[in-house]
Structure formats: C-alpha cells, structure tokens
Amino acid sequence: MKRLPAFAAAACFAIAPMASANELALAYFMGPNHPMNAAVFTPFAERLAEVSGGELTVRQFPGGALNSVPPQQYSILLDGVTDIAFHLPGYTAQIFPVTTSITTPGICTDAVNCTEALWRAYDVIEAEFDAQILALWANDAPAMFTTDTPVRTLEDMAGLVVTVTTAQDIPFIEALGASAVSQPVSVINQNLTNGVVDAVSVDPSAALSFRLHEPASYLTVGYPSGGNAFVLLMNRGIYDGLTDQERAWVDEASGQWLSMQGAEAYRAVAQRGIEVSRENGVEIIELTDEERARWAEAMAPATDAWLESAVGQGLSGTDVRALMTGE
C-alpha cells in the first residue's frame, strides 16, 4: 500500500524507476520551483522522513509527470495513480461547494486570514473530500491583470471577458458587467497573451508563477473578493492501510501548521508579484475606498443570492459564512 501505485509506475515508466516500499508518491502539476514546493510539499516530505526516522519518505512528481490536466488531480488521487496530490478545489467547484465558498466577497481578505477561515469550517470541509486532508490553505484575494484596458472604475469592467480560477467567482465578476469563464492556471498566460480573454482575475503571485507581468499592462488591486482554497490530499485507502504508527507520523508531518506555512508563503509572494509587475512596467491601479464600495454594491445581489442558497450538507450560504468568519 505504501509503494508507488502500479498504474502510476506505468504512467511514468520513462520518467523514474519504481519507488521503494516505504515511498509515497506526491503529484503536482506546477514546476519544482513553484513557491508551494518550498512552503508545503518539501516541508511535509522532510518532516515525515524526520519523525519516521526514514521509514516513510516522499517522492515528488512535479510538472504534470503523473497528470498534465490540472482539474483531474482529484480524480487521479481517487483512482490510485498517486498516493498524494495537490489540488485546487475551484477546478471542480461543484464537488466542493463549502470549500470554494471562501472566495465569496466579505468572508476574508488575505492568504492567512482566508486560511484561518477555512480551518474554522474544517469539519464540514473535510466531509466534502473522499480523501485525507494533509494541508488546507488559501492564497491572497485576486487582482485583475489586463492588457489593453486599465480597470480604474466599475464602468471599466463592462464587456470584458475575464478568466477566473474557480466557477464560484463567476456570478460575482458578471455582476460587475463582465463575462467570466473558469480556466486552469496553466493556460492563463497564453490566453491573456493571445487575446482570448481581456483580463485574468487571480492572486497577484501569478505574476511570478505564471509570468503574467509579461502580457499585462495593468494590474488592478483591492476589489472585493476572497482567496482560493488549496489542498494537499492523501488517498484514503493508502492512509487507512497504514499502521497506527505510520498514520501518527503522517499526522504529525501535516495539518494546520503546514497549512499556515502555505498561507504565509502566498501572502509574501502576492506582495512580491505586485512589486515584480511594477518593476516590469505594469501600472498598478489600487481602487479607492469609494470605488471599492461601488464594486461591493454591484456584487451585492449575487452575494445575497449565495447567502440564501443551499450550499451543501444542509447549510446555507449564511451558515457557511458564519462558520468561516466565526461570527
């Protein structure tokens, strides 16, 4: 149970030899230099090796080695292609309606605040996953990268085609007068460069991870929204098949401390993303308090509709917001 699954081994035969009996395969679609490797994946692997005295180790498969289609990360975990997988619940928001509620305007602000909100609702979030959650964290609230249109006011959003990274954001962006489409982050640079979309609404760290400062001319920050959720998951069958001691090692190497490392890293790289964009000639536009209030007012009908909706597990949007905010 602790060996790289046979299907995974076949899929990466030309990439790497079979893992040893005590190795866990960890798959993610970003490159090994992505900030989440240094903040979450490697610390988990190092801590697990340390607490287990080397009896349980982790082998990373970055860059889509086991799966090149980011929205399928959860599926490959359930199918046993990998033991551990990094996933963005927003790609499959219909499966994780409580988890993806974190993006709703008014729940949280930055990566750390949003991660704390997720952990307040951990019990109901955990019930959405048919897997063991090793880490649960969020990034900063999104900013708007645009090429030709500087977005300074609510009126500037009219008619824009905007990429969002979770379907949960679509009604809020469309309430501003734009059209919204959910796309994987792996295509956002290409689509903004080629004019497939007019804007990308994403955490400012994308300037570093996906070089959005290259096609963008403008970056608008400060509009109402929340961060996106991220999870590091372990196949339930693999986790349950571990001995009590091995599960204790995995639990010690994961959890809230690991999640907060991811949050703190995202908060730092979001600020760095803004700085790098400015250094490369991107105009940084910060909405005024008055303009931000106008955006919030325009989003209010979509927010109210969500609050009154049935989110899942017998909870309304109002219930979920109360859990996440602690109010």
Candidates 117, 135, 154; CA nearest to 250 is: 135
Length of the chain: 327
The pLDDT value recorded for residue 21 is 58
When pLDDT is averaged across residues 231-249 and rounded to a whole number, the result is 97
6-92+110-140+227-269 and 143-226+282-325: identical CATH topology: yes
pLDDT at 2 over 60: no
- pTM score above 0.85: yes
How does the average pLDDT of the chain come out, rounded?
A: 92
Q: Output helix, strand, coil percentages for the chain, rounded to the nearest 5.
A: 45, 20, 35
Q: How confident is the model at residue 321 (pLDDT cuts 50, 70, 90)?
A: very high
Cα–Cα distance for residue pair 149/183, rounded to 1 Å: 20
**Rounded CA separation 123/107 (Å):** 18
C-alpha to C-alpha distance for 98 and 312, rounded to whole angstroms? 7
In this structure, of 16-20, 260-264, 309-313, the range with the lowest mean pLDDT score is: 16-20
Among candidate residues 228, 227, 225, the one with its CA nearest the CA of residue 296: 225
* 8-17, 160-169, 256-265: range with highest mean pLDDT: 256-265
pLDDT in tens, 27-71: 999 999 999 999 999 999 999 999 999 999 999 999 999 998 989
How far is it, in rounded angstroms, from Cα 131 to Cα 322?
Answer: 25
> Which among 96, 203, 87 is positioned nearest to 143, based on CA atoms?
203
* Amino acid in position 111: A
Q: Which helix (H) or strand (E) holds 298?
A: helix 289-308
Q: What are phi and psi of 220, to 5 degrees?
A: -100, 125
Give the three-state DSSP class for 284: strand
Query: 3-class secondary structure for 238-251?
Result: HHHHCCHHHHHHHH
Domain ranges of the chain: 6-92+110-140+227-269, 143-226+282-325
How much is the pLDDT for 15? 36
d(CA 308, CA 327): 17
Give the HSE-up count for residue 167: Cα atoms under 13 Å, Cβ half-sphere.
Answer: 10
Q: What are phi and psi of 150, to 5 degrees?
A: -75, 125
Q: Is the pLDDT of residue 7 over 50?
A: no
In this predicted model, what pLDDT tens digit does every residue of 151-191 receive, in sequence order?
A: 999 999 999 999 998 888 999 999 999 999 998 888 999 99
Residue 308: other Cβ atoms inside 10 A: 10
CATH of domain 143-226+282-325: 3.40.190.170
Residue predicted with more confidence, 305 or 3: 305
Dist. CA 304–CA 132, nearest whole Å: 33
> Distance between CA atoms of 162 and 96, rounded to whole angstroms?
22
Residue 3 has pLDDT above 70, yes or no: no
Q: Which homologous superfamily is 6-92+110-140+227-269 in?
A: Bacterial extracellular solute-binding protein, family 7 (3.40.190.170)
Are 74 and 87 a contacting pair, CB within 8 Å?
A: yes
